[in-house]
Structure formats: structure tokens, C-alpha cells
Structure 1
Amino acid sequence: MKLQISHYLRVLCFVFFTLSSYSFVLHGDNNNITSNLSLRNRVRDKSSALIVNVISFGARANNQKDQTKAFVAAWDKACKSSSRSVLFIIPRGEFYVGPLRFSGPCTNVTNLTVQVEGHLKASTDLSKYRSGSGWIEFGWINGLTLTGGGTFDGQGALAWPYNNCASDHNCKLLPTSLKFVGMNRTVVRRISSVNSKFFHIALVECRDFKGTRLNITAPSYSPNTDGIHIERSSNVYFSRSRIATGDDCVSIGQGNSQITITSIKCGPGHGISVGSLGRYPNEKDVKGLVVRDCKMSGTTNGIRIKTWADSPGLSAATNMTFQNIIMSNVTNPIIIDQSYCPFSSCTSNVPSKVKLSEIYFKNIRGTSSSKVAVQLHCSRGRPCQKVYLENVHLEQSENRGNEAVSSSCRNVRANYIGTQIPPPCH
């Protein structure tokens, strides 16, 4: 009887796909699961779309047992499908999983939508994770959409005490909650990430990636919980998201090009950072970065560019624009730090070999919680070139009284246009 009902529902869904392209409702497997999905522009070729629900492969919501096996079986079915369009459903409820690897290539599938409506919880057993791996990894997939309003809960509170990376640069890295590797044409929207063990979201060697309407949260004291980290990727766009975490809201690593970050509300956290760059040999250049229409609230930094002192190889970061940024009680609203040295073992008196040029700060306004609101400390070995500040208006936060803010510059001759508060460096 269940098989007949399941078959009937499958047929009914295809009818809805063909006639409306708006939504469908699934009720099945005694779980009273209802999925209201807006599928227009999400699953093409709807008449032949394959629907894969993890419940059909043995997953059970609100069950304390690990559901990884069922998720892997469902993914195997979805990725190996002969259908061009696949809808992979994780319904409402709590699911304990991980680590999970959703790997491609999915040879025949050109549009794969992963609809997460539930609350996924990561395993707290750190022995299950490889250093630098992800809790949930998507790799080598073309045309993925991850959406659904669900939550990825890294359960990081039990792991943070084991993060010793601040004192040991050879530390074992805790897992990133959502890691994307070698992806093409990816859309991530309307998901939440909470309490990641390490980074919330990381991109490595991805192209044509769009993330929007993301909600990322972890306590301000949680170590290395960067909201979004991007490395060796191109044509990446993140927008309209809220990030409150214990490290950088967004960090732009080496080898990136054509990155746009817009309409991000950041805080608490360490702001939006380029870097750190220059830590490893043979790093690739960063070029073509736009950060605009963002707001920083109570962050330790606003816009930061940081490169390692005594970097082992030559590299560059160029053509970077930071525009229409509001700072609210930010400790370092604008900062270039080319003597970045978080470990006591590094030699900070050796100049950085990372070349910074064509940097534009436009329409930056708000309040600074420190006296030095603009700090441009460049490398004496490779001084910054073509740095422009246009219409910068940063005043002291109310809790600092009437003390005037100031600028500090080293190894740079910046160009100033329009309003300049604090006064330019001389």
C-alpha cells in the first residue's frame, strides 16, 4: 500500500511541475512531512525531474542516531541519476549527520537542487574529521543550488577548547561546516549556519558562485569561526546576508579574482578581511575585489588587508574597491597591516613581500572605538602604490568622549579626495 501511495505522489508531483512550476506538497512515510517549495527557476525540465527524499532511504528525523548512511545512499541515487534535473530533499526535523561528502561529478545532472528544510547537527566526535576537512563537503558538481531555509548546526561549543591554532601554527584544523571544492555554477541561498567548529562556509577553487540571504552566527569568543572564507576562486558574489561570529565575517584568501561582497551586516566579528596573504610559498595573486554597501557593528576591524611579515614568496593584491561602508563603534575601521604576525615564532621585522596596489576606499563613514581610525601600514620592502581615500568620515564613538581620531601611515603615499576625517597622513 505504501508503494502505491508513494507512486501516486510521485506522479502527482510531476503533474504539479508541469502545470504550475510554483510549489508542491509531499506527505509521506508516517512523518507528516510537508515541503512547500518555490521551484520556478530552480529545477528545469520539470517533467523529467527526479525527486530524492532522504526519508525514503532510511533517514529518521528527531532521532539521536547518526543518519549519515541514509544521506549517502540518497546522494548516490541523486548524483548517478540519468535525469537532467534532480531535487534532493532533506525535510523538516533534526538530523544528526557527519562528516558528509556530496561529491561529483554527477555526469548526467545539470541542475541539482538540495532543499534543506530541517536542522542538521554535526557529530561532536572530533576523531571522525580529518584536519582541514569539512563537516559537509560539496565537491566537483556543476549546477548546484543549496536552499530551503534549513540550519546547519556545527555544535562547535564542545570543539572550541581544542582549537590551539593561536599558539601552534602546525595545529590540527577543526572542520569547516560547509565546504565547497571545485564547484561550478553554484547558488546558495536562504540557509543558516550556527556554531561552526571552524569556518562556517569555505570556497576552494570554485567558479561562478552566488550566495545570498544567509544567516551565520556564532559567539564572539568562538575561535576561527570565519563566516565566509574564499580561496583560489573566481566570479564569486555574496549579498544580503547577516554574519555575527568570532572571527572575520568574510575573509578573502589567496588566488581569488572577481569577488563581490555586497549588503552584508557584520558584527560581532573581525570585519571583512583580505588575507592573511603571504604565509605560504607560491601563493597566487588577488585581483578584482569589490566590497560595497556593508555595515560593520562592534567589530574589531572594519575593512582590513593583512599580509604576513617575512612572507616566503612574491605575490600581489590589486584592484580592490571598498565603497559605501558604514562603521558603528569599530575598533579599526580602515586598516592595512603588512606586518601580520600572530605567532610568537615568526619574524615580524622582516618586511612582507606581498605587493598591494590600486586600493580604493570610497564613502566610508561612521564611528571608531579607537583613536587611530585609519591605519595604512605597508611593507617597507614593497611599499603600497595607488591607494585612494575618497570621502572618509570617521568620528570617535560616544563612549570615547570628544577625543579626535587620527590616521597613521607607513611606506605609502595615499591620494585623498573629498572629505577626510580623520585628517590625512603627512
Structure 2
Amino acid sequence: MASRFLILCVSSLFFFFLTVSSAPTSGYYKGDKVFDVRNYGAHGDGKTDDAMAITKAWNDACQWSGGSSTVYIPLGTFYLSQITLSGPCKSYITFIITGTLSAPRDPNLIKQEEWIEFRYVDNLTVTGGGLLDGQGSYSWSLNDCDKNPKCRTLAINIGFAFVRYSRINGLRSINSKMGHFNLFSVEDFNITGVTITAPGDSPNTDGIKIGKSKDMHIYNVTIATGDDCIAILDGTTNLDISNVRCGPGHGISVGSLGRYKDEKNVEGLTVRNSVFNGTTDGLRIKTYAKSVSEISVSNFVYDNIQMVNVGNPIVIDQQYCPHGQCDSPGKYNSHVQIRNVKYNKIWGTSTSQAALNMQCSKTFPCQDVELSNINLMYNGRDGLATALCENVGGSVRGKIVPSGCRI
């Protein structure tokens, strides 16, 4: 009896330790092979270029075949001139940043589109609560993209291209030279707990830019920047956005679309349970008036969005034509078809009188646009909020303020 009891105790103890050893902790699993960048010569003194050391640690972790691997960047300031971390990797890989990664002040030292770039990786997790400092204030004066269509391209803080089944959790990004996060051709990708910060007057510092990607979730993020909080470009499908705190910035924008011949449709966007505070725009769809591609924007849902002193809370602009590219206002009609877009429970305050402004294409009028439970108040003293709807077909349900949109 005693021997049987002893065997049972030993078996239970073995099962307990087996369970504990496989429990997730801090975003990775105990027993993973950890590749500490300090073991590869990284200094973390904020002066020495640690790009080579981090690249070596990544390459070893990526090719580790004994199980999952973790690249670990500890506390400290790690200066990086630029870095590209490529796959494919042999197993799940985690990139933990607990310290600060600092970019060069001189934009000429970065020769690629993104300062930090991940490419061709599956099952990647970037986490740790660390900071990406783009040192953008030293180069913002060089950015004249608001006036010059051939403006100089500056580096984005971090980019992900051809990355699948992956996530970013708890990362912080400040003062990018241009955008903060750039996602191109990613699939099944989650972004959560991210904080993005740049001054409201910093040019073209988009928070999260997405193109030709699918099956993405963005939730519980805070974005305060000088351009779009989230910019959604062509070819993006099945994107779910929730619990976003946006402002300052230019809101959540789809487009601009229609400028290039090879563009793809944008389909399946949900934005819900979010707050826009002090942004120039709220929910915006913009397409080139002088478009060269015939694509569609469809199956959108905007639900439960609060606007706090937002310049243009709801905007569809199919007469978008920056830099004077249209020789005559109103001469061109966009060829981008917008259909099946639902706005429900959008409420708060507008700093412009036209709180609801939908100017769709005469050639391809908007179809199946649904407005329900809209309550937007103008906080100026020269009248009430107004609504402008042109070439819009659809339906209206519930109380709509401002009224006057006949669709």
C-alpha cells in the first residue's frame, strides 16, 4: 500500500513539473532557447551600433531547430543604424524588447524603407513593452509631402512584410521619421496593447499603415500622431479594429484609393468601440477624383464610435485630388465603387459645421450606405451641425443628427 502511494505521489509530482514547465510566461515559454543579444556583442550604451549583434542573434534563433526560440533585448538603449530580420525560421520565434531601440538622428544613415524590418517570417511574436525611438524630430523639417508629390521618403519605424500567423503585443513607438508601423502582405496578424506617439504637427507620421493584407485584428491601442492613426490601403481584406484611442491625428482612413492601375479591392472592415479625440477627421474614406483603376470598397461596419471635438467626424470624399493634380475642381469622377457601408451609434462633437459629409462619385454612386443612431453636435456658435450627402444611395434608421441626408 505504501509503495503504491509513493508511486502515485511521484507520478503526480512529475505531472505537476511537466505542466509548470510548459506554462506561458511573459509572452514566451519556459524551456525556449533564449538568444540574449549581449552574448553577441550588443552594448546597449546608446552609442555603439548594435545592429550586427542583434542580426546575429536573430539568425541563430531563426535557424534553431530544437524548439521555439526567443531573441532577448534587455533594459538599456540599443542604437541601431538599420536592421532587416528575415526568415523563414524553423519554428515559432519571439522577439522580446524590454529596453529602448534608438534610431540614427541623421535620416541619410537609413537606406531602406523601414528602420527595423521583419520579412518572410511565420509564427512571430514581438513583445516586451520596450520602446522604439525613431528620433524623427531631427528630420521632420525635411518633409514637404503636403506640398510636393515627389517628396523625399523618410524611414518608417518598423515594418512587417510577408509575415503570417503573428502578433505584436505591448510595444511602444515614438517620434518616427515618417510612419510608425508598416504592414504589407501580412496574414492572420494581431496588434494589441500598442502605444504610438508623435506630436500632432509632425508630418506624415501615420500610426499603423496596412496594405494588401488580410485577416488582421487591431485592438486596445493608443495612437497620438501627426497623420492617420490607422491608414488602410488597397488590397486589405477582413480587418477588425476595436478599442482604439485616436488623437491627435487624422483619424482612421481608407485610402486614398484609385490612383494606380494595379490596385486591389478593400473589403471587410469593422471599426467599433473606439474614441476619437481632437482629430482632424474621424471615419474617412477617400478616393482619387482622377482615378485610373476601377476597384471597390465594400462591407464596412462602423459601430459605437465617440467623437470628441473632431474636425470631420464622418467623411466620404470621392473628389480627393491633392497637390493640384486635377486641373478643374469637379471635372473628374472617381471610378472607385463604394457599397454596403454601415454607420451605427456614431456620437459626440464636431468642430466643423458639416459633421456628416458624404460626397460620392457621380459615375459610381455609393450604394447601400446605412445610417442609424447618429448624434453629432457642432460645438461652434454660428449654427447647428449640418449634413451633406451627394450621390449616396441607401437607408436611414433611427434618430439622425444632423438630419437632412436623403439617401
TM-score range, shorter chain: over 0.9
Matched, 1:312 2:292: yes
Q: 1:38 aligns with which of 17, 26, 46?
A: 26
Partner of 2:106: 125
Structure 2 runs not aligned, ≥5 long:
1-16
Contact 2:46 2:102 in 1 (8 A): no
1:358 to 340, 344, 349: 340
1:149 corresponds to: 129
Once the two structures are TM-superposed, the CA of residue 120 in structure 1 deviates from its matched residue by: 0.7
Maintained 8 Å contact 1:285/1:316: yes
Tell me, what secondary structure is at the counterpart of 1:71? Answer: helix
- SS of residue in 1 equivalent to 2:38: helix
Assess if the C-alpha contact under 8 Å between 1:416 and 1:424 holds in 2.
no
Does the alignment pair 1:158 with 2:138?
yes
User: d(CA) in 2 for partners of 1:122 and 1:176?
Assistant: 11
Per-residue CA distance 1:314-333 (angstroms, 9 max, x = gap): 11110011000000001100
Does 1:113 pair with 2:130?
Answer: no
Q: In structure 2, how many angstroms separate the alpha carbons of the residues matched to 1:409 and 1:394?
A: 15
Q: Give the aligned residue type for 2:152.
A: K
Instruction: Show the 5 A alignment for 1:17-56.
Output: 19-21=20-22, 38-39=26-27, 42-43=28-29, 46-47=30-31, 49-56=32-39
Residue matched to 1:395: 377
Deviation at 1:190, TM superposition (A): 0.5
Of 219, 223, 241, the match for 1:243: 223
Q: Distance in 1 between matches of 2:294 and 2:387?
A: 28
Match of 1:83 in 2: 66
> Cα offset for 1:401?
3.0
SS in 1 for 2:290: coil
Q: Identity rate of aligned residues, in percent?
A: 40
Closer/same/farther in 2, CA of residues 410 and 57 from structure 1, 3 Å limit: same
List gaps (5 residues or longer) in structure 1: 1-15, 24-36
Distance 2:332 2:105 in 1: 41
Deviation at 1:17, TM superposition (A): 9.1
What is the TM-score normalised by the length of structure 1?
A: 0.88
Letter of the 1:395 counterpart: M
Equivalent position of 1:229 in the other structure: 209
State the partner residue of 1:11. Answer: none
User: Cα 1:374–1:268, aligned 2, differ >3 Å: closer, same or farther?
Assistant: same
**2:175 is matched with which residue?**
195
Structure 2 residue 46 is the aligned partner of structure 1 residue 66: no
Question: What CA RMSD, in Å, does the superposition of the two structures yield over aligned residues?
Answer: 1.7
TM-score by length of 2: 0.92
For the residues of structure 1 that align with 2:142 and 2:166, how far apart are their CA atoms?
Answer: 33
Q: Give the one of 164, 180, 186 matched to 2:160.
A: 180
Instruction: Report the count of equivalent residues.
Output: 389
Distance 1:287-1:206 versus aligned 2 partners, 3 A rule = same
Distance 2:242 2:183 in 1: 17
Q: Structure 1 CA distance, aligned partners of 2:119 and 2:44?
A: 26
CA distance in 2, matches of 1:73, 1:187: 22
- Give deviations 1:247-279, integer Å, cap 9, x for gaps: 000111000110011000000000011111111
Tell me the distance in 1 between the aligned counterparts of 2:20 and 2:390: 65
Distance 2:369 2:106 in 1: 47
Whether 1:258 and 2:238 are equivalent positions in the alignment is yes
Structure-1 separation of matches of 2:273 and 2:382? 28
Quote the Cα distance in structure 2 between the aligned partners of 1:17 and 1:230: 41
Match in the other structure for 1:7: none
Q: Which residue number corresponds to residue 401 of structure 2?
A: 421
CA distance in 2, matches of 1:414, 1:223: 36
What amino acid is the match of 1:317? V
Secondary structure of 1:82's partner? coil
1:301-325 deviation line (CA, Å, top 9, x unaligned): 0100001111111111100110000
**3-state DSSP class of the match of 2:60?**
helix
Judged with a 3 Å threshold, the aligned counterparts in structure 2 of structure 1 residues 172 and 17 are, in CA distance, closer, same or farther, namely farther
Q: What do the CA deviations read for 1:369-402 (whole angstroms, capped 9, x no partner)?
A: 11100000001121111111000001122xx137
My pick for the range that moved more, 353-362 or 160-169, is 160-169
* 1-structure distance, mates of 2:40, 2:60: 10
Which residue of 2 is the match for residue 289 of structure 1? 269
Do the aligned residues in 2 keep the contact of 1:105 with 1:142 (CA within 8 Å)? yes
Cα distance, 1:425–1:19 mapped onto 2, change above 3 Å: closer
Change (3 A) 1:64 1:423: same
Letter of the 2:110 counterpart = Y
Q: Secondary structure at the match of 1:343?
A: helix
**Secondary structure, counterpart of 2:322 in structure 1:** coil
Question: Aligned equivalents of 1:17 and 1:324: distance in 2?
Answer: 45
Name the residue aligned to 1:3.
none
Contact 2:235/2:264 (8 A) holds in 1: yes
Query: What residue identity is the alignment partner of 2:156?
Result: T
